[in-house]
Amino acid sequence: MSETLERVVTKNTAGPTDGHRTSKRPWTQLDALEMESIFILREVAAECSNIALLFSGGKDSAVVLRLAEKAFFPEPLPLTLLHVDTEHNFPEVIDFRDRLVAERGHKLVVRSVGDSIRSGRVRLRHPDEPRNPHQSVTLLDAIAEFGFDACIGGARRDEEKARAKERVFSFRDEFGQWDPKNQRPELWSLYNGRVHRGENIRVFPISNWTELDVWQYILREEIALPEIYFSHVRPVIRRGSALVPVTPLTQPRDGETVEELPVRFRTVGDITCTAPVASQAATVEEVILETMETRLTERGATRLDDQTNEAAMELRKREGYF
């Protein structure tokens, strides 16, 4: 564990996370959210034997990783980091992922949608089709390959409607599928992690967090992020209400004009369906102020695939998506 991480974990673990008020810092809503998430992480570690933490290098997975490090500190993480890579990710995010894992000494497994395509497990209708919907196949193959009985994800209920329907411990059957009408009850923070061979649980420890909570926690915990989360000048084109980054995968169409604008990304994913927002926010504090003022949801403003089909996420989740 790096000296910076150990300092932050030690500073912020004593007191709120353990239930003992040993520091002078006043109790906050963020402390309550942190305690709940750490409790959930410890519950899944107690109930499941082979756990993956879905880690993309994005802000939500970075927060979940910090929570896991605090939950099990000073012991090594009792889980494997798993990234389902579309091979269309922003290079800044992949570089950040690899640096962070190397610094912390965590175990990372990467499985690629590109490999699923090349092996014939995934077939695209056309070469330019976004690969996000096809991550389900690669994820389910990885779960079967390693025998994971639980996968921890960074989904939040404020992102979009389908994620708001899920339990914290969300059951997947032997086919990796999710039935939103047949979910296990969760009363008084009691979670049922029982699974049979071939089944698994998806666990979402920051379900009750908002985008603003995540950014405030990033500020408090001094969590590093890929630089594209902050304002930078990038060539973009205007396509409907969205700004589309100009990349080798997303080229201007006839009649579209390339502009150089200061932008940042609220979420990072497949380049072909992830849009930035116009922004001058270059620091975490400035991002927090912007987040407090915005009226657009994170995915609604920046995910082109979700904008075109409101039911897209629920359909993917039924098939095994995160």
Q: What is the pLDDT of residues 117-133, one digit of tens each?
A: 899 898 888 877 777 77
pLDDT surpasses 50 at 14:
no
pLDDT > 90 in the chain, percent: 49
Which residue type occupies 12?
N
Q: Quote the CA–CA distance of 84 and 217 in Å, as a whole number.
A: 25
Do the Cβ atoms of 302 and 280 come closer than 8 Å? no
The pLDDT of residue 214:
95
pLDDT surpasses 80 at 50:
yes
The pLDDT of residue 304:
57
Pair of tokens at residue 254: 């006839």
Nearest-10 Cα torsion for 45, 22, 10, 83: 40
pLDDT level of residue 19 (50, 70, 90 thresholds): very low
31 contact partners, CB below 8 Å, separation of at least 6? 16, 17
Using CB atoms within 10 Å of the CB of residue 231, give its burial: 0 to 12 exposed, 13 to 18 middle, 19+ buried: buried
CA–centroid distance for 190 within its chain: 24
pLDDT surpasses 90 at 249:
no
pLDDT surpasses 50 at 263:
yes
Place of tokens 């025998």: 147
Answer positive or negative: Cα dihedral of 234, 249, 137, 101: negative
The pLDDT of residue 303:
55
Q: Closest Cα to residue 268, out of 247, 251, 252, 286?
A: 247
What integer best gives the mean pLDDT of the chain? 83
Q: Quote the CA–CA distance of 283 and 227 in Å, as a whole number.
A: 10
Do the Cβ atoms of 228 and 90 come closer than 8 Å? yes
Do the Cβ atoms of 57 and 226 come closer than 8 Å? yes
